[in-house]
Structure 1
Amino acid sequence: MIYSAFFFGLISSLHCVGMCGPIAMMLPLDRSSQAKKTAQLLLYHLGRLTAYSSLGLVFGLLGKGFYLAGMQQQLSVIVGVFMILIAVIPEKVFMQYNFSRPVYSIISKVKSGLGRQFKKKSNSALFLIGLLNGFLPCGLVYAALFGALAMQHAPLGIAYMALYGLGTIPMLSVAAYAGRFLSTSFRTKLQKVIPIATILIGTLFILRGMGLDIMYVSPGNMSLFVKGMPDCG
């Protein structure tokens, strides 16, 4: 299941081009040198990966608690259901209820910090832009975090979100290099793929939790879930 994170990142990046694409297009890159531009873009991506990985650590630790409570199967099903709900419920519903309101002040500070970094042209600024960008609210990142939660182990939670972040790099790099050449209609067509892919990944998590004895997809023996310590004796 962990490898689904990279695929989900690739699909999510179609949404990222619309939402985070403008950030990538406005990055204060040194355009006088292709080598410097590429290195600075990698710093931006490294910042995002750092943010995603740190979130993966938190949710992996939370998942570990569910594992110790013997809720591996239930958690996998719940994660799958939430992924599907995020895919089918219109984004305007989430915006209407503003689920991030409890941490609105923190998000405001993140946005303010992001704005300040855009005024700079240093390598550290590019890393911080990526880092702060990774903490901005996003429904698809929330869905990926549910996946990290289902990994039920801190290192795997980190790996899940790191793979998710790696999957978003190709399209956001395109946005940084040639974003203005991607028409709005083209972006809209690409984003139609996102709900389908999210539903498929959510369905995989549900099947995983149901233990239907389907090799690699829904193992009947739930001990195949990652364990904190190997069995001995």
Structure 2
Amino acid sequence: MMWQWIAGGFVLGIFSSLHCVGMCGPLAMALPVHHLSRIKRFAALLLYQFGRIVTYASLGLLFGFAGRHIYIAGFQQGFSIGIGILVLVLLILYYCYKKNVQPPFMLAFYKKIQGVIIALLQSERNLFSYLLLGMANGLLPCGMVYVAIAAAVTGSTVDQGVLFMAMFGLGTLPAMMAISYFGTSLSLSVRQAMRKAVPYGIALMAVVLILRGMNLGIPFISPVLQSAPGTAVECHN
């Protein structure tokens, strides 16, 4: 069933590109690469995007461990439903009531990450700096990354979490590379139209998470979740 996680992460990443173009596009277009030769410019942009994927895969590793423990504890089904409902609630709060629910410690963390990005942009840069910039960018607040993490944590193995998040990053790669090269020719109205489609995709993903936890036997959408391995019982005569 690993291919389903690979395909699911990649498809979510492609759809998330609509959000990335609107939200992360300005940062990608502002990267100081215009003075570089064509080959070095391509390498710098590719390293920047690869840095994001490294961060996403690392998050997949972290939350994959959490998902594995949830699976072993036997809470995977209810947890998937709960996460889906939580995503829907947060979506309604953000888009309908304009309320952004974030703990104070996360706001402080994001300010530190922004400081790291500014420091990297102001420092003397080499190609490795663009990799670090991408890794830092992967830690900035992003609703679609949150949705991807919510999906990754419902897996039963660590590998599923890592693969899902890595493929999610790869799915965003084509659009983000394109916006870095041709972003100035993409009108603001087009980017805004792309962003308007995002909440529908988030809602769809939340529904999939809920259906996944319901064990309806629908391939990929709601497969029958395997039960956690039982504990071996030793018999004494």
Scaled by the length of structure 1, what TM-score is found? Answer: 0.87
**Residue-pair matches, total:** 223
For 2:140 and 2:62, locate their aligned partners in 1 and report how far apart those are by CA, in whole Å. 16
Distance 1:216 1:32, change over 3 A: closer
Cα offset for 1:201? Answer: 2.2
1:93 aligns with 2:93: no
Q: CA RMSD in A?
A: 2.1
Distance 1:73 1:8, change over 3 A: same
Does the 8 A contact of 1:207 with 1:218 survive in 2?
yes
Partner amino acid for 2:118? Answer: G
Residue 131 of structure 2 is matched in structure 1 by: 127
Partner amino acid for 1:157? Answer: G
Residue 154 of structure 1 is matched in structure 2 by: 158
Cα offset for 1:69? Answer: 0.7
Pairing partner for 1:192 from 187, 191, 196: 196
1:116 aligns with 2:119: yes
Distance 1:65 1:197, change over 3 A: same
Q: Deviations over 1:55-85 (max 9, x none)?
A: 1111111111110111121122122223333
1:103 aligns with 2:106: yes
Cα offset for 1:100? Answer: 4.2
Cα offset for 1:181? Answer: 1.4
Partner amino acid for 1:106? Answer: F
Equivalent residue runs for 1:152-231 within 5 Å? 152-219=156-223, 221-223=224-226
For 2:90 and 2:19, locate their aligned partners in 1 and report how far apart those are by CA, in whole Å. 13
In structure 1, list runs of 5 or more residues that go unmatched. Answer: none
Q: Deviations over 1:98-151 (max 9, x none)?
A: x14213333222111101111333111101110100011112211111011011
Equivalent residue runs for 1:11-90 within 5 Å? 11-29=15-33, 31-90=35-94
For 1:24 and 1:191, locate their aligned partners in 2 and report how far apart those are by CA, in whole Å. 16
Identity of aligned residues (%): 36
Residue 235 of structure 2 is matched in structure 1 by: none
For 1:198 and 1:70, locate their aligned partners in 2 and report how far apart those are by CA, in whole Å. 26
Q: Per the alignment, in what secondary structure is the counterpart of residue 61 of structure 2? A: helix
Q: Deviations over 1:6-56 (max 9, x none)?
A: 121112221112221111111122554222211111100111011111111
Q: Which consecutive segments of 4 or more residues in structure 1 shift more than 6 A?
A: none
Does the 8 A contact of 2:71 with 2:155 survive in 1?
no
Pairing partner for 2:143 from 131, 139, 142: 139
Residue 234 of structure 2 is matched in structure 1 by: none
Does the 8 A contact of 1:25 with 1:176 survive in 2?
yes
For 1:51 and 1:200, locate their aligned partners in 2 and report how far apart those are by CA, in whole Å. 25
Distance 1:32 1:112, change over 3 A: closer
Residue 10 of structure 1 is matched in structure 2 by: 14
Partner amino acid for 1:196? Answer: Y
For 1:151 and 1:5, locate their aligned partners in 2 and report how far apart those are by CA, in whole Å. 12
